[in-house]
Amino acid sequence: MSLKITIVGCGDAFGSGGRRNTCFHLETESARYFVDFGATALVGVNALGIDTNAVDAIILSHLHGDHFGGIPFLILHAHFVTDRKRPLVIAGPPGLEQRIRAAQEVMFPDSSHIELCFDLVFVELEPGSRSTVCGADIECFEVCHPSGAPPLALRIQAGGRLFAFSGDTEWLDVLPTVAGGADLFMCECYAFDEPIPYHVRYRDLEANLADIGARRIMLNHLGTESLARMADIDPSIEIAEDGMVIDV
Ligand SMILES: [Zn+2]
């Protein structure tokens, strides 16, 4: 049993520090997933040599462009470039199909009407629900991050390991529950000292560190202040880098 996670992108929405938008590639012995697929994800996927046709499902935390904006590109890439044959499952907050279709139409008019060479399957993940998507057990918690649909923190069990992800959110009391018992808790950390609405501030994470029962804690989505203060982050906490590969 194993879970290999490749950090395709760990940056914020604005490319701070030259980092790509959020996208993680999860690989078990029997399935592969993307968790989030931000606008720059396909660039990262190609830079890292990841085979998109081998990916079974994309699991989305919330519907902001830096977390799902790469999907219109991936759909066309699968149809025109990689000649995908297997179904592609996209799971995420309620309303995801409508938002993805709208994004397709804005970026590539008429592209949502193409008869694709593969099946596109949308699965809605309700806050508070637990479901199985392509062999991964997914538990969803609603967080606080307005994005036109309920934003989710995720506990994803795959390959006998537990990957917990805060998604984007301000600090909430539910986050230690999300992280509890995880082999890796990936937590966004956009802000450091200065609060930024709807995002985790490092000082709040630090104050609650003793309550986070995850084997490893890793930070992603660092804004400019967090990037400048990386040396002040508790040494027990890891910091994601684009291209990093983690055996969880
Ligand atoms: Zn967001």
Q: Tens digits of per-residue pLDDT, 3-44?
A: 999 999 999 999 999 999 999 999 999 999 999 999 999 999
Closest CA to 167 of 138, 192, 200, 197: 200
d(CA 146, CA 64): 9
d(CA 91, CA 58): 6
DSSP state at residue 239: E
Residue 1 has pLDDT above 90, yes or no: no
Residue 248 Cα to ligand 1 middle (Å): 25
Residue 29 Cα to ligand 1 middle (Å): 31
CATH number at residue 69: 3.60.15.10
The structure's pTM equals 0.98
Residue 135 has pLDDT above 90, yes or no: yes
Residue 190 Cα to ligand 1 middle (Å): 10
Residue 54 Cα to ligand 1 middle (Å): 27
Q: Which domain holds residue 86?
A: 4-247
Residue 221 Cα to ligand 1 middle (Å): 9
Residue 61 Cα to ligand 1 middle (Å): 9
pLDDT band at 50 (very low <50, low <70, confident <90, very high): very high
Number of domains within the chain: 1
Residue 65 Cα to ligand 1 middle (Å): 8
Rounded to the nearest integer, the mean pLDDT of the chain is: 98
The per-residue pLDDT for range 189-236, each reduced to its tens digit, is: 999 999 999 999 999 999 999 999 999 999 999 999 999 999 999 999
80 contact partners, CB below 8 Å, separation of at least 6: none
What type of residue is 177?
Answer: T
Residue 109 Cα to ligand 1 middle (Å): 25
Residue 174 Cα to ligand 1 middle (Å): 18
Residue 164 Cα to ligand 1 middle (Å): 17
Percent of the chain exceeding pLDDT 70 equals: 100
